[in-house]
Amino acid sequence: MLPYASNKSTSWEVKARGHKCTETDEAFEEKEFLMSRLMAGPEGLVREDYKLSAWNKAKQAEALFYWKTQYRLPPAKKEAAFKEENAEEILRQMVEEKDESSVNVVFLLAVMLERKRILIERGVQRDAEGRQIRIYEHKESGETFLIPDPELSLDQIEEVQQEIALKLGWIKAEVVPLNILFLGDANACRSQMAEGWVKSLKAERLQAFSAGVEKQDLHPFAVKVMAEADVDLSVQRAQQLDELKDVPLDVVVTVCDHAKEKCPAFPDACKVVHMRFDDPVAQAKALAEAGGEEEAQLEVFRKVRDEIRVFVEGLPESLDA
């Protein structure tokens, strides 16, 4: 048959089955055989359904496509045919969206549903652009699905199957953690806390490192207040930035003004962010010199510890802000 006049957006859609004869307006009865045809309309294809008594050769000759089918009452609403995949629901959604970038996925979903005997292929038609349009009928609802056939090659199918598996939740997308470095003045407290929080809260998304412009021993109060939050800093060690020169970094976060000023240049692909936190070491030292007790000094470390946690909890999304 000649292709019907259409654009790509009307070449693939779902056409509901009628419950009455197009000509006589008589209702169809359960399991009654009838004739269905597709006609060209101003806005694309139009589906018409006829009782056998109203069908004739003239209607057949006018049709772009026709087929014999059996009427069934609309099925009661139920769970998707295969609950885990929910392929039919996704197919309907994607057909409604008519996203040309999804045409391969839509086609393979329809093939899957055909193999599950949920869809029945009734024939093939070409649209005005010359694309093959496969005509499927839903076994229960009787709806007509017009699905473009992208005529995939074998080497394309595996990639599309992977995409379908992701959409249906059969597999999870592989997440490659970002390498993030927290750069401090001496790598004795704030940058160490940030590294510890990332390892505790964001290990699936981020691979954390910390270093200092210079290097000092890990402050015991930093270890103590982090232990209160069930994060063990005693397994970490202080290091200078040069020790990480071979690590491919995605993000560098400077945690103090001195580190920002001394921060070297990184490759363009590495994002550098400044997030200043108060220096609890200097504040605790001032408290001690003024006669402040240890508990007051620890409170300074706890405050910074909690501020860093809030920052880490927003990673990596907050980096764009």
Domain range list for the chain: 8-167, 178-320
pLDDT confidence band for 83 (50 / 70 / 90): very low
Phi, psi of 224 (to 5 degrees): -65, -50
SS (H, E, C) 191-224: HHHHHHHHHHHCCCCEEEEEEECCCCCCCHHHHH
- 8 Å CB contact between 252 and 266: yes
pTM of the model: 0.52
pLDDT at 7 over 70: no
> In the predicted model, what is the mean pLDDT of the chain?
89
> In this predicted structure, what is the pLDDT of residue 77?
60
**Dist CA 245 CA 124 (whole Å):** 60
The mean pLDDT value for 261-289 works out to 94
Phi, psi of 149 (to 5 degrees): -100, 110
More confident residue, 193 or 2: 193
What is the second-level CATH architecture of the domain 178-320?
Answer: 3-Layer(aba) Sandwich (3.40)
pLDDT confidence band for 232 (50 / 70 / 90): very high
- 8 Å CB contact between 212 and 188: yes
**Dist CA 257 CA 185 (whole Å):** 8
What tokens were used for 72?
């069934």
177: which strand partners?
none
